[in-house]
Structure 1
């Protein structure tokens, strides 16, 4: 299986997989930013503007339903609140988080400047969405986003049950299979 189209963008199989994962055709999809160990996309990079011109500041988007479910559990367990409180009490964490914000803006603006300092996930003053931070960490690697690093360390192996989506009856690869585990 090819991991990208000849132009570096997603393959038709990737688009079908992401469609199955999120339950609709992806908007603004630029490329697969990270693949699950099962080989399917689990994080995609989106364009700073959608096809209709609407600004879309979330550069990295987690797509795997098993991954996003587990991140949601961390949110429900209070990790966002804990990390937001640490922004006030832990200068090192706050500095690394501010750097993640600056890096995120630079990456997005290198594609297309939106003319705003709004990044995603509450950066740099609060932790609002762990999904954004885990996606950022998976896309760019450990050390780029302390919130994503910590959340990822707390997640179990969401891929162990196998692919979250499988081939559809027509062979297109886009129908969702029920998550197990």
Structure 2
């Protein structure tokens, strides 16, 4: 997968992400993961938004079907299971702590923001509070980079290998590859 620094983001990507989110995309610096059809799945966002707001979630899950799948897992209490796993398995806990450090290093390519220094996303490095964030990191960084994100993706009804993209209303334009 592509890691920072990213290639420039195409305007079409921004239109797709805006359609995925149902609002204008903000301060996207890269497409960190794509669907098999080429549509954005994970975006990378500046650590400080244009309006000055600190934004720790560098890897942001934008694909609507993937987002819905993570929401279902959260509703099914997978986070509770993951937190128990972190407490019981020192190897998983150590790998999750490394994922946190890697996440911070990736975000640092786009600046340091004092208000969020040491804060990654999803509860890293010691707990799980957002499967969307850890799954986005796992998709961006690749298998093995975030054990909790990998677990969430493995339990998900969504697959990054099968296109489940809705019609983004952009006509016959092909997604970026």
TM-score by length of 2: 0.86
Structure 1 stretches of 5 or more lacking a match?
1-6, 174-181
Structure 2 stretches of 5 or more lacking a match?
1-5
Higher RCO (CA-CA < 8 Å; seq separation 6+): 2
SS, match of residue 166 in structure 1:
coil
1:150-170, CA deviations, whole angstroms, 9 ceiling, x for partnerless residues?
A: 1111123457564223334xx
- Paired position in structure 2 for 1:163: 165
Q: How many residues align?
A: 165
- Paired position in structure 2 for 1:117: 118
1:16–1:172 contact (8 Å) kept in structure 2: no
Matches within 5 A, 1:73-84: 73-84=72-83
- Paired position in structure 1 for 2:3: none
- Displacement of 1:110 in angstroms is 2.7
- Paired position in structure 1 for 2:131: 130
1:76–1:48 Cα change, 3 Å: same
Matches within 5 A, 1:59-74: 59-74=58-73
2:43–2:61 contact (8 Å) kept in structure 1: yes
1:122–1:129 contact (8 Å) kept in structure 2: yes
How much is the aligned-residue C-alpha RMSD, in angstroms? 1.8
1:57–1:118 contact (8 Å) kept in structure 2: yes
- Paired position in structure 2 for 1:15: 14
SS, match of residue 68 in structure 2:
helix
